[in-house]
A and B are shown apart, each in its own frame.
Chain A
Amino acid sequence: MEYSAAEKAIIWLCSRPEFDSRTRAALLRASGDPARIFSDFEKICSQVIHPPQNGLYKGDRSSRGREAENLVAALREKGYFAVTAASADYPAALGHVYDPPLVLYGAGNRALLAERKFCVVGSRVLPPWAEKTGRSISEALTQRFAVVTGFADGGDSAAIAGALPSGKLICVLPNGLDVCYPASHAQLRRDVAKKGLLLTEYPPATGVQKYSFHARNRLLAGLSEGVLVLAAGRKSGTLITADCALEYGREVFALPHNVGAAQGVGCNELIKKGAYLCTDAEDIFAAFGMQAPARRAPVLSDGETRVLSVLRETGELHAAVVAERAGMSVCEVQAYLSSLELKGLAVRSGGNRYAPL
């Protein structure tokens, strides 16, 4: 695709390491028309930077133009694109965000930026039921939203697994597009870039920094209309996303966890403070006043129904206890449980225990 002069000017401005993000924003504001950055950069600098610093940028008009062309060519060569504050499809929602990025680098399906967006996040270690629930919720959400999430293990992976098949998935990275973190997600990164969209505010080749996760979380919340927290410990990083969401006026949802479960303390705290309690995608659709898409009820045999009702009575149970309460042998129950698991109605939560979904 072709970039306008204004877009090229912003891409160039964001590539200069001499300026921090606040100065860049001020320079852009002072320019009036971004394209002026190429012609009158020295003048704009003298308006913005006090006291004037000589030799901050040594190039002239033609070198700026050349550098911008090189940057655009490099992006194109790697198959990336840049959405700038001057682009038509720049997400307007980012206007609420503190220090909004002037450029978003992306790889994949650019059209997703125009969709309604909803964020699903969770800590890296979470109970299996929360993972399965997160997966099915984000799968259902794709019927109305593009799912926005990070790229880590656990909660992010659950959201990705649910949304990736439909392609309505935006992963916001805390690093440049050509850096893979965690390295074990190399294949996943390729899949998301092919079917969904990878997005980041960092130019290519930027590595991961500790602070960039926090900065990324503000974009997760900023891009989305609401945030669902699958699991969060007391000091989990996902709570930062939830805090940002509150600050920007987004809806916050949380899965309820068992009292005392360390991996869910943060979620329960959010609910206490007034977040929506969410157990399935319909809760989210209802909060946005949407009609929930119709669901197909699975067909169950008598045995499966009995096992499922035993499970639903008390929640998580050991297979042997299910067998005892349902009055069946352990091997029968094993068979029913694994068929319920395949139908997405139960989940194995470790130690031969199963939880209903």
Chain B
Amino acid sequence: MVSKVVCYALNGLDGVPVEVETDVNRGIPAYEMVGLPDTAVKESKERVRSALKNSGLLFPMNKITINFAPADIRKEGASFDLAVAVSLLKASEQLVGADTDGIVFLGELALSGAIRPIAGLLPILISAKSHGFSRFIVPAENAREASFLGGAEICPASTLSEVVRHLKGISPIAPVAAQKFVPHPSRKGGADLKYVKGQPVARRALEIAVAGGHNLLLVGPPGTGKTMLARCLPTVMPDLTFEEALEITKIHSVAGTLGEEGIVTERPFRTPHHTATVVALCGGGNRAVRPGEISLAHGGVLFLDELPEYHRSALEALRQPLEDGRITVSRASGTVSFPARFMLCASMNPCPCGNYGSADRVCTCTPAEIRRYRRKISGPLLDRIDLQVEVDNVAYDDLASAAASESSAAVKERVDMARRIQRSRFEGSAVSVNAGMGERELEAFCPLGRESDAILREAFERMQLSARARSRIVKVARTIADLAASEEILPAHVFEAVSYRLYDKM
């Protein structure tokens, strides 16, 4: 008898339906798997055999053929185990009367018959739902992740025998209740701007960067708090919407980095080490294409500490995703596109010894050394970083009367206000923040007064700015005006924006 059961394979962030067909024939006992299964899928034979035995079920001593259809895509990983086991039970007539039509089976089997969680469940569920499936059996440990889908009957099972009893109607499993998404109220990292003492200039730049979605470069001697400032970035970013959270969760689910909560509730903050390769940053892998750090930072912050230490090739690879917000990775196994709309925050020292421009310490670098150090960051990459700001050692006495630092929550309120202005401005267009404006939007939304234009012209000539740097300054000035709730871009806004172009003369 031939049975048919549905499960799903992953291709990038999309689920692809796979039918598991099993035929049990009389003949010399054998177990044959066809349909391009990889090693992990082939090994399911042993897992399935033991799981059946330890669940009090029978592994048929016949000639068994299992086919994965469609046969032309590669099947990888252990998430097909449950579907293979159910299909085998059905073919060997151990599930008589059970209704398996239209159910998607997902899960890896342990030898004991327990069901283990799988990576990438949420993207599979979302794809399957759009393909018209509405009934699922998923590993119990993935239940929380699955519960955010809504509008489907999702039954969490922790053992194979539970699945059998459920299918036979002996003791049905209660479907998971759909959960409402709540953005994380208290941040896990514990970072907060109120712990950052001093640094008024850098704090201001950080606020502007988040408000307009601009990229940020922090320059300063070691130990001045660049990393601490960067860690505060997610705390002032707007709360995640459910759609954003789902998209981010999909990526993290595929990468297998999803936490216990089952859904991403706060904006990611990724800090890849400076030894990271192009593949680690952009995604890839020799078999399945996995998302890289820039995709894991989607919707959040990618923090590159000590920017000049990264491989040149890795940094140059960031240029295209920084513009497009997506990365397309091509491998022998196929071409996959991952979202990668992140905010880039980088930090670096002003020179190899770190003391260049310091008030009390002497820089021992030669001009050639400093030039070589800064040249590691290419002009085109630097051009894409709108705000370049110094983080400095402020003597505490200098700021004797400075009150306690403002908390992240207070800054976030202003950021939210500026974002609201931008949302209504870009209503109905693909642009969502000031940093994303193209030439057309610049013309429409950023008219400069005669005075402001004169300032820019002077800055352009004095600082020998590139055309791209000019439009970046205008965008930052637009954000500064938004933060001040000003309809018009005033000269003061342009001047302030110019003051954040530290390295145009580099």
Contacts and interface: CB of A to CB of B under 8 A. Distances in A.
Interface of A: 124-125, 128, 153-154, 182, 184, 262-263, 316, 318-321, 323-324, 330-332, 334-339, 341-342, 349-353
Interface stretch (B103-111, B276-284, B493-501): B493-501
B499 A154 contact: no
A330 to B, nearest CB: 4
Interface of B: 198, 200-201, 204, 220-221, 350, 356-359, 362-363, 365-368, 371, 390, 392-394, 398-399, 401-402, 455, 458-459, 462, 480, 491-493, 495-496, 498-499
A349 B360 CA distance: 12
Contacts of B493: 335
Given A318-B394, A342-B462, A334 B499 contact: yes
B358 A351 contact: yes
A337 B499 contact: yes
Nearest to B199: A320
B231 to A, nearest CB: 21
Contacts of A331: 204, 480, 496
Contacts of B368: 153, 182, 184
Contacts, number: 90
A303 to B, nearest CB: 8
With most chain B CB atoms within 10 A of its CB, the pick from A128, A316, A321 is A321
B480 A154 contact: no
Contact of A330 (B201, B363, B401): B201
Given A320-B399, A350-B350, A334 B390 contact: no
Contact of A125 (B201, B367, B458, B492): B367
A352 B205 CA distance: 12
Contacts of A349: 357
B244 to A, nearest CB: 29
For chain A, what secondary structure do more than half of its interface residues adopt (helix, strand, loop), or is it mixed? helix
Given A184-B371, A318-B398, A334-B204, 18 more contacts: A125-B365, A128-B357, A262-B362, A319-B201, A320-B200, A320-B394, A320-B398, A321-B398, A324-B402, A330-B204, A332-B492, A335-B499, A339-B495, A349-B357, A350-B350, A350-B390, A351-B220, A353-B357
A153 B367 contact: yes
16 contacts: A125-B367, A153-B367, A318-B398, A319-B200, A320-B399, A321-B398, A324-B399, A324-B401, A330-B200, A330-B204, A335-B499, A342-B458, A351-B358, A352-B201, A352-B390, A353-B392
Nearest to A184: B371
7 residue pairs, one from A and one from B, having the closest CB atoms? A350-B357, A338-B499, A351-B392, A335-B495, A153-B367, A335-B496, A330-B200
A184 B402 CA distance: 45
Contacts of B201: 319-320, 330, 334, 352
A342 B459 contact: yes
Among B392, B458, B480, B491, residue most surrounded by chain A Cβ atoms (within 10 Å): B392
A147 B459 CA distance: 26
A124 B370 CA distance: 12
B492 to A, nearest CB: 4
Given A125-B367, A262-B362, A331-B480, A351 B498 contact: no
B31 to A, nearest CB: 70
A128 B363 CA distance: 13
Nearest to B490: A335
A350 B358 contact: yes
Contacts of B365: 125
Nearest to B458: A342
B399 A342 contact: no
A338 B495 contact: yes
Given A338-B499, A339-B495, A350-B350, A124 B358 contact: no
B496 A334 contact: yes
A319 B204 CA distance: 12
Contacts of B399: 320-321, 324
A124 B498 contact: no
Nearest to A262: B362
A318 B393 CA distance: 10
A337 B220 CA distance: 20
Contacts of B462: 342
A318 B392 CA distance: 9
B474 to A, nearest CB: 15
Contacts of B358: 350-351
Contacts of A336: 492, 495
B365 to A, nearest CB: 8
Contacts of A351: 220-221, 357-359, 390, 392-393
